[in-house]
Amino acid sequence: MDYEVSPDYMPISPSALRTDTTVGCDIYILAKTSIEVRFVLYCKSDAVFDEEKKSMLLSKRIKKLFIKKGEKQAFFTYLENNFQKIVSDSSIPSDERTRIVHSSATNLVKDLFEDPRSGSIERTKTFANNMVDYVLMDTMAAESLLLLKIAVHEYSTYTHSVNVAAVGTLFGQDLGLGVTDLKGLCAGILLHDVGKTRISTDILNKNGKLTKEEFEEIKKHPEYGADVLNETSTEYKEELIVTLQHHENDDGSGYPYGLKKDEIHPCGKISRIIDVYDALTSTRSYKDALRPFASLLEMKENMLHCFDAELFKEFIRFLGPYDPRKKSRKTDKWST
């Protein structure tokens, strides 16, 4: 038996567990003997994960724990509730913290798409605020987030929103956006495709070419998304802007309003570039992923009319040899 193919369990990082907390789901250790391989209960859902339990894991050099897949929602709720403690723990390697952030955000967006009216939108906004704080707090977090996007090519609506939010936040930081603008941008990108929840899955998941009527329906998702946000709250500014403008083109050929140049908000311009870049560098049912350089070349040669030319140049520079500690911060030209 191998835990990677077990239909009942999923691995988690011991680093995600905070001492003096209850996780809310049973935690297991994979025990191997010459006779069998089995999952052994290590910490019950209502038991406190204390220092003694943590020390035992360290002494045994246990690097993977497990939960039942049926209880993963409880575990992701635990991660959200302890987000700040996890990402501020310098004893956890940056790449491991980044994977925790990415998996938590992906689960959050999944909840959002399953029911955007169940409080998931406000959870998404809170998570975005924490994610920006994480990026600003840890210089290595930026590199880890970008490298994770480069390494993971699989596409889903959920991973797409998370990848675009991660790269968009880093790019916005590089441009010199202030903390408030960064948080609005990050939340907006996490929410940017929420309007697709009002479009038939038959259209969204269609492998072949869309009919004219189907594409016209797809083009309505920015306005559908704005409706979802407006029905939930009136306190979303950048979130509404990004949701409505992430398909607007610099030459006015985009949708839903055909805005052009300075009619498009800076957050809309940033999200347009990142949205296309992630789609090109991700594997889809109908195409293979392009390498970063090939994606940028495609954007430059065939899609340049979609983007603010100066901002696109900045994006190319941003994706160059990446070391956020050596990059000079930009002026606040792109700040709102």
Which pLDDT does position 323 carry in this prediction? 41
Ordered structural domains, the chain, with CATH: 1-72 (no CATH), 82-334 (1.10.3210.10)
Q: What share of the chain is helix, strand, coil (3-state, %, to 5)?
A: 60, 10, 30
Specify the pairing of strand 27-32 against strand 37-43: antiparallel
Which pLDDT does position 336 carry in this prediction? 55
Terminal CA-CA length for the chain: 55
Q: In angstroms, rounded to a whole number, what is the distance separating the alpha carbons of residues 89 and 94?
A: 9
Q: In angstroms, rounded to a whole number, what is the distance separating the alpha carbons of residues 188 and 124?
A: 9
Residue with tokens 């889809």: 284
Neighbours of 30 (CB within 10 A): 19
* Neighbouring-strand partners of residue 9: 68
Q: In angstroms, rounded to a whole number, what is the distance separating the alpha carbons of residues 84 and 131?
A: 9
Residue spans of the chain under pLDDT 70: 1-6, 118, 139, 141-143, 145-156, 234, 285-286, 321-336
Which pLDDT does position 324 carry in this prediction? 40
Which pLDDT does position 335 carry in this prediction? 57
The size of the chain, in residues, is 336
Which pLDDT does position 286 carry in this prediction? 66
**Cβ atoms 266, 336 nearer than 8 A:** yes
Which pLDDT does position 145 carry in this prediction? 67
Q: CA–CA distance from 112 to each of 26, 58, 195 (Å)?
A: 25, 36, 11
* Neighbouring-strand partners of residue 28: 41, 66
Q: Which tens digit of pLDDT belongs to each residue from 116-129?
A: 876 888 889 999 99
Which pLDDT does position 7 carry in this prediction? 77
* List of residues 6+ apart from 137 with CB closer than 8 A: 87, 88
**Cβ atoms 252, 278 nearer than 8 A:** no
Which pLDDT does position 33 carry in this prediction? 74
Measured torsion, CA atoms of residues 297, 298, 303, 306, in degrees rounded to the nearest 10? -70
pTM, rounded to two decimals:
0.83
Q: In angstroms, rounded to a whole number, what is the distance separating the alpha carbons of residues 174 and 209?
A: 37
